[in-house]
Structure 1
Amino acid sequence: MTTELRVLDPADWDKWYAVLELAFGGVPEADEERKLWQELTEHERFIGAWEGDRCVGTAGAFTFRLSVPGGAVVPAAGVTMVSVAGTHRRRGVLTSMMRRQLEDVRSWGEPLAVLTASEPEIYGRFGYGVGAYSAHGAIDTTRVRLVVPEGTDGVSLRVTSPTEALDATEAVYARLVTTRPGMLERRPGWERLALIDPPGDREGASPRQCVLAERDGEVVGYAHYAIKPEWSFAGANGSVSVQQLAGLDPVAEAALWRFLCSVDLTSSVGFRSRPVDDAWQHLVTDLRRCEPTLRDALHVRLVDVGAALAARTYQTPVDVVFELTDAFCPWNEGRWRLSGDLEGAVCVRTGDAADLSLSVRELGAAYLGGASLLSLAAAGRVREVRPGALREASVAFGSPVAPWLPHGF
């Protein structure tokens, strides 16, 4: 039977979502979580692969705005809920959905597409590069101390519920978006994602808690966390799980980390998805005992190369011609001249000789400053044509702070 791609009809959402759930293991989500995703679904931007009335594939693209180096917030399609029924693998269903989706994103005038990958090796062939990484770890608070900056004692802390603190925490988050590439502006409804806390997902931990950092009556930071009590014959051995932590300045963040590392009856503080240059690693007295690990986070795809490269700024003046290959989105193929600095940039097609040769995947990896063009060249993925062009472009594409995706989608 012929497979047809169709825009998602709201009446088909349950059937469509059931295919997605089955592809990810078949464990039903909690009602509150499922309801939120249904409400956030932008049906006109979601597609399904259908054989008659049977759905065999799913894909969607949320409307996002993503921060980029220089502080601009750029339209980006948040690719999500991608799945293919196990009965229809290796039939071209995924490829057809990815191609249709990128054509749609281009028609919407959005220069970027981004995603988080359940299996990272899948999306490189569609032009996505790993543009931001995240750090994970667990601080052994029985052996590791924190050395906090001067002024930390001037920050007061107040424990409350995430719901009661929602307006204050969202205000802090909004102020931080343009300070670090890779962060997403929160559109209406997305603030509720931080409140989803199904009891079945807690694995013995407490309901989610919130601590606010305040100075002179103003909220300057917050952390969402849960506590998992554990006991051995020797005594308490509980753990703290950090779900979110944000501060408007280093002192506020340090006060939050110190609080979390001193919760009674606990001996460790675990965290996931922190920036790779996060300050916690310089506060601890023994990084080795914090078990730091690195993981891919945000995968970036340039849908309109000219618009995307012109939307960000560059650390040093750059004037370089790229010879770009992009078999999946052929409208990007060819030579592009990028001229820019800290004030802005222009990127246009050109017939001039190429300085660097690469694919759109490498541009996606370097776009937010998360991977250097030099390191990609060392892996054989960027070729220098004009001597000196590689170093010039690699430095220019850098970011003073590492890109970071604060939450999934």
Structure 2
Amino acid sequence: MTTELRVLRPSEWDGWYEGLELAFGGVPQSAEKRELIRDITDLDRSIAAWDGDVCVGSAGSFRFEVAVPGGGLAVMAGVTMVSVAATHRRRGVLTSMMRKQLDDIRSRGEHFAILAASEPAIYGRFGYGAATALLKADIDTDRVRLAVPEGTDAVRIRKAPPKEALAACEAVYARAVPGRPGMISRRSGWENFTALDAPEDRQGTSPLQCALAERDGETIGYTTFRIRPAWDHAGPKGTVEVQDLYADDPASYAALLRYLFGIDLTSTVSLGNRPVDDAWQQMVSDIRRCNVRVCDGGYVRLVEVGPALESRAYRTPVDVVLEVTDAFCPWNEGRWRLSGDPKGAVCERTADPADLALDVRDLGAASLGGVSLAELAAAGRVRELRGGALAEASLAFGSEPAAWVPHDI
């Protein structure tokens, strides 16, 4: 069999998306969610692989801006909707789509490609590195208490229908973006997903709920969540499943968290995607009863090494020559001199001797400050060629707060 690879045509969207649904388990989505996805799909950035009239592969991307260390925003491609039919594995379909997609992203002047991997083992060979982590927790609110900061009692918590509160919530989210590397500016239309309450997303929980934190009539934080009711012989044991939690300051954050801890008939607050340095860990009375887990988060691919590294600032002054290997995008191969500090950076090709040697996958992993070069070197994935270069570069590449990619892609 042969496959034809081409940009998606408007009339082909249904067949393309049905193939994607089948690859991810075959459970059809609700009409409302499907229509939202259709509306935001960029057809000219969507790739389809066809065997006759059957779609056997898909890959899409969206143009976003991502926060980088130093508080700036860099243009990126959010890679998504990647699938290959089980009938067409090991025939080069995925490799062909990744080749076409990265060439297209490069032609559009987007220097980063970022994705959330359904299976982490897939994307390393295409130059993607695990660049951010996320934290999960199930907090036993029967036994764990919160120590809240001064000013928490002055914050008002108010329930609101998620769709009616959408504009206020989005303003809070937008203010949070520049302050944390990896956060993605929301494109028009994407905010509707945060208030979507599709039946398939509930899976036995309540409809989506929203609570706003307010001070002097202004919204300064919000949370969206669902309740999963449960009972045993001793009484109610429900779970608060938190979807989003953003706040402008410690007091509004603590007020929202305290509200979630106090919801009637529940004994657990479940956090499914939070930054690894999330502040609640410093507020709880017993971290051991919070069942904390850390998982991989966003995967980053440097499409153009020079411009990508120039787009961010560096924690401390750095002047280092990087010897980069990149088998899939050979235009990145070679030596790059990176000179940067907290005000900005320049990264240009050089013939000078290399100070560090690494693959583009590992450079991508370190690019947002979420993974240290020293950690990668300890795993044998970065080689120090000049004494002191590793410590210098690892410190400069670091970031506070921790990098985090909460936005759906």
Taking the TM superposition and a 5 Å limit, the aligned residue runs for 1:15-34 are 15-34=15-34
Which whole-Å CA distance do the structure 1 matches of 2:227 and 2:48 have between them? 40
Q: Equivalent residue for 2:395?
A: 395
Q: Equivalent residue for 1:380?
A: 380
Cα offset, 1:200, TM superposition? 3.5
The Cα offsets for residues 97-156 of structure 1, whole Å up to 9 and x where unpaired, read as 111110100000100100000000110110000111100011101110011111111111
Which whole-Å CA distance do the structure 2 matches of 1:105 and 1:200 have between them? 32
Q: Equivalent residue for 2:179?
A: 179
Q: In structure 2, what residue type is equivalent to 1:281?
A: Q
Q: Equivalent residue for 2:14?
A: 14
Q: Equivalent residue for 2:266?
A: 266
The Cα offsets for residues 86-105 of structure 1, whole Å up to 9 and x where unpaired, read as 01000111011111110100
Which whole-Å CA distance do the structure 1 matches of 2:51 and 2:262 have between them? 56
Q: Equivalent residue for 1:64?
A: 64
SS at match of 2:123: helix
Cα root mean square deviation, aligned: 0.8
Q: In structure 2, what residue type is equivalent to 1:113?
A: A
Q: In structure 2, what residue type is equivalent to 1:383?
A: R
Which whole-Å CA distance do the structure 2 matches of 1:174 and 1:286 have between them? 32
Cα offset, 1:203, TM superposition? 2.3
SS at match of 1:253: helix
Q: In structure 2, what residue type is equivalent to 1:386?
A: R
Q: Equivalent residue for 2:338?
A: 338
Q: Equivalent residue for 1:232?
A: 232
Which whole-Å CA distance do the structure 1 matches of 2:60 and 2:198 have between them? 24
Cα offset, 1:249, TM superposition? 0.6
CA contact (8 A) 2:98 2:126 kept: yes
Cα offset, 1:32, TM superposition? 1.1
Which whole-Å CA distance do the structure 2 matches of 1:376 and 1:125 have between them? 17
CA contact (8 A) 2:29 2:200 kept: no
Q: Equivalent residue for 1:51?
A: 51
CA contact (8 A) 2:213 2:256 kept: yes
**What TM-score, normalized to structure 2?**
0.99
Q: In structure 1, what residue type is equivalent to 2:181?
A: P
Cα offset, 1:205, TM superposition? 1.5
Which whole-Å CA distance do the structure 2 matches of 1:309 and 1:405 have between them? 18
Cα offset, 1:250, TM superposition? 1.0
Q: In structure 1, what residue type is equivalent to 2:184?
A: L
**What TM-score, normalized to structure 1?**
0.99
Which whole-Å CA distance do the structure 1 matches of 2:90 and 2:204 have between them? 40
Which whole-Å CA distance do the structure 1 matches of 2:203 and 2:123 have between them? 31
CA contact (8 A) 2:137 2:293 kept: yes
Q: In structure 2, what residue type is equivalent to 1:138?
A: D
Taking the TM superposition and a 5 Å limit, the aligned residue runs for 1:3-402 are 3-402=3-402
2:401 matches 1:404: no
Q: In structure 1, what residue type is equivalent to 2:183?
A: M
CA contact (8 A) 2:213 2:221 kept: yes
Cα offset, 1:233, TM superposition? 2.4
User: Runs in 1 of length 4+ with deviation above 4 angstroms?
Assistant: none
Which whole-Å CA distance do the structure 2 matches of 1:201 and 1:349 have between them? 48
Which whole-Å CA distance do the structure 2 matches of 1:238 and 1:382 have between them? 47
The Cα offsets for residues 288-308 of structure 1, whole Å up to 9 and x where unpaired, read as 110000111100000000000
Which whole-Å CA distance do the structure 2 matches of 1:207 and 1:55 have between them? 34
Which whole-Å CA distance do the structure 2 matches of 1:84 and 1:62 have between them? 19
Cα offset, 1:51, TM superposition? 2.2
Which whole-Å CA distance do the structure 2 matches of 1:50 and 1:111 have between them? 29
SS at match of 1:90: coil
Q: In structure 2, what residue type is equivalent to 1:264?
A: D
Unaligned runs of 5+ in 2: none
Unaligned runs of 5+ in 1: none
CA contact (8 A) 2:205 2:228 kept: yes
